[in-house]
Structure 1
Amino acid sequence: MIAGHTVPLLAGGLYDRFHSNPPLSVIASEAPDVDLSWFKTLQKTRVDIGFESYSPNFYYKNSKVTAVFTADLATLKSLMPAKVLEQVQPLQVWPGRGLVALTAYTYEYCDNDSYNEVSLSIVTNRPGNANLGPVSLVGQSMSKDFWGYVLKLPVDTELARVRGVVGYNLPKWLTGIHLKDNDKTVVYEIIDSQTGKVDVTLETDKLGDLSSEAELVTNSFTNTGHDGELTYGYAVSRQLSHASSSDESTVKLVLGDGSLSTYIKALDLGTMMKYEYVPSFQSALYAPAPLQSMLND
């Protein structure tokens, strides 16, 4: 049981045994190929996020792809709560156009066992900072400190769904997310939970010339808590293998007739501005905190 929800767990899995706090010695013995040096520098603390957990949550071995598209600015604003808009707004890259980031994650080995997740987020300014459109975007890119507002977040395990909804108040739901990996491309198929059919297909190229220089990237989001209070959360990623491209031919997004495709179509996606291919990264996801605590720092 997690916060009153009956959640099926992988018997003998990390979460079943350690509930978000496995000793690194266990990880080292079960996954000897994983470099744990970064995690040894991080300290977990016990937190109450609607259930007892530990922050940050560790993701030891993962991969992801991200495609950033232009989208209709007025529509993006209409999808954000008024209270959130008082603090952050979509970044305008040119008149009437903002940005959304579509990211597909595969968490091969983490505190919550393994699962796939797809995030659709609006790119925003940092709370407390002026929204200067392209200038803010360049600033975030240079500092590797990105901010957004999460619109949709399907996952393919009930453990990930309940933890995300109860603990973070994120828009998660349970559906099939299938990864098809071949020599040249990475393909994610998102199933429509109502029909059971493939609704969204994200096909991206495996880029060459990968950088193996580890870099730390922070992705933060502004949100509201269950009681309507403003919160923020963030994940720090240690990208071990990565490359990017602005060539539109590297990404193919196919939309169907399901609810997620219908939602994405309404955003009026335009130019693909950037594609990021990250076949190897590690991450630490921190528990949400009151936004005011950050603004007061």
Structure 2
Amino acid sequence: MNIKKMTMVCGLVLSALAAPSWAGNAAESKVLINIGGHEVPVVAGGLYDRYRSNPPLSVIAAEAPDVDLSWFKGLKKEKADIGFESYSPNFYYKNSKITAVFTADIGRLRELMPEKILKEVQPLQVWPGRGVVALTAYTYQYCDNDSYNEISLSIVTNKPGKSSFGPFTLLGQSSSGDFWGYVLKLPVNTELARVRGVVGYNLPKWLTGIEYKESDKAVSFVVNDSETGKVDFVFEGKKLSDLSHKAEVVKGSFTNLDKEGQLTYGYALSRQLSYASSTSSDSVDLKLNDGSFSAYLKSLKMGKMLKYEYVPEFQSALYAPKSLSDFFTKQ
């Protein structure tokens, strides 16, 4: 079997093991569609198969009548060429996530960022020798890309064109709901999410098993090593009880390099509908094993957990990346 066929078969197998669709049918049939020159398995008759990231809100309302779509009605989609024809922003209608923010060795963080990006943004130094990373686990239950799970590891940075004042900048981003970072790792559990992320956004995505679990007291994400198939690490967070249900929109932006090595930026708006936070280290349990991602996390020399966020309900709109020069023009 040649490499191309083997990759396609692996994609089909792993996609079948991904999070179930909105309809909850784990045995859904797949069809292959071409995305940027890649043959990608998607759910037959799913949102992406039918609408290629541009489903009418009337369809979403009919298929998911319990989802509040009022926020999306105020957002305009536009056709975008991101290595394939798509629409921006990409909508995520029903989702949940947990985030743990840790200190990490700032020298190591600087090593992991391209020199070209370091000229524009730097890791925030919260105290001598220590930067900040955010580990986030998402389960997208219903979105333009059907459904999938994702793990994000990002370095927290200053905003391009703005000076970094370490912990004060971190506090400022937190209070304003305007966060900036550089994405280090972004594994997903469907080939559709992987190809769209790599081709369209030049993000460090790869395909692996990511299982979402939930109990009365906690939610957890079991992440497999893509090479061995064994459990790489388990990220568990407590279900916090003091939830706020006041809708709050936050913005997460990231700097990156495109395939030509040019500076870009992208961002997502997230409408948090149910959320709570804690600074107690007991809120998070991160069990690292011997996989490649675990080894990578260990190399960061992560220390004190600064904050844990439990967001059992949020919506999001992810915008296509643009040249960083466009960002400076708008400032």
Deviations 1:120-158 (A, max 9, x none): 000000001101111111111111000000000000000
Q: How far off its partner does 1:209 sit?
A: 1.0
Decide which of 61, 64, 72 is 1:39's aligned counterpart: 72
Decide which of 291, 295, 301 is 1:262's aligned counterpart: 295
Query: How far apart, CA to CA, are the structure 2 residues paired with 1:180 and 1:138?
Result: 32
Partner of 1:70: 103
Query: How far apart, CA to CA, are the structure 1 residues paired with 2:147 and 2:112?
Result: 30
So what's the TM-score if we normalise by structure 2? Answer: 0.89
- SS of equivalent to 1:7: strand
Partner of 1:148: 181
Decide which of 223, 229, 239 is 2:256's aligned counterpart: 223
Aligned pair 1:174/2:207, yes or no? yes
- 1:102-141 → structure 2 map (5 Å cutoff): 102-141=135-174
- 1:146-225 → structure 2 map (5 Å cutoff): 146-225=179-258
The amino acid of 1:138's aligned partner reads: L
Query: How far apart, CA to CA, are the structure 2 residues paired with 1:187 and 1:64?
Result: 10
Aligned pair 1:296/2:325, yes or no? no
The amino acid of 1:123's aligned partner reads: V
Query: How far apart, CA to CA, are the structure 2 residues paired with 1:180 and 1:283?
Result: 22
Structure 1's unaligned 5+ residue stretches are: none
Q: How far off its partner does 1:75 sit?
A: 0.1
Query: How far apart, CA to CA, are the structure 1 residues paired with 2:237 and 2:63?
Result: 31
- SS of equivalent to 2:117: helix
Deviations 1:150-205 (A, max 9, x none): 00000000000000000000000000000110100101010001111111110110
Aligned pair 1:8/2:41, yes or no? yes
Query: How far apart, CA to CA, are the structure 2 residues paired with 1:110 and 1:232?
Result: 22
The amino acid of 2:80's aligned partner reads: V
Partner of 2:18: none
Deviations 1:22-45 (A, max 9, x none): 000000000000000000000000
- SS of equivalent to 1:9: strand
- SS of equivalent to 1:12: coil
So what's the TM-score if we normalise by structure 1? Answer: 1.00
Partner of 2:281: 248
User: CA RMSD of the aligned region, Å?
Assistant: 0.4
Query: How far apart, CA to CA, are the structure 2 residues paired with 1:204 and 1:61?
Result: 19
Structure 2's unaligned 5+ residue stretches are: 1-33
- Among the aligned pairs, what percent are the same residue? 69
Deviations 1:223-267 (A, max 9, x none): 000100000000000000000000000001111111100000000
Q: How far off its partner does 1:296 sit?
A: 1.6
- 1:270-281 → structure 2 map (5 Å cutoff): 270-281=303-314
Query: How far apart, CA to CA, are the structure 1 residues paired with 2:248 and 2:206?
Result: 31
Query: How far apart, CA to CA, are the structure 2 residues paired with 1:69 and 1:142?
Result: 18
- SS of equivalent to 2:169: helix
Query: How far apart, CA to CA, are the structure 2 residues paired with 1:139 and 1:251?
Result: 24
The amino acid of 1:137's aligned partner reads: L
Q: How many residues align?
A: 297
Query: How far apart, CA to CA, are the structure 2 residues paired with 1:203 and 1:50?
Result: 36
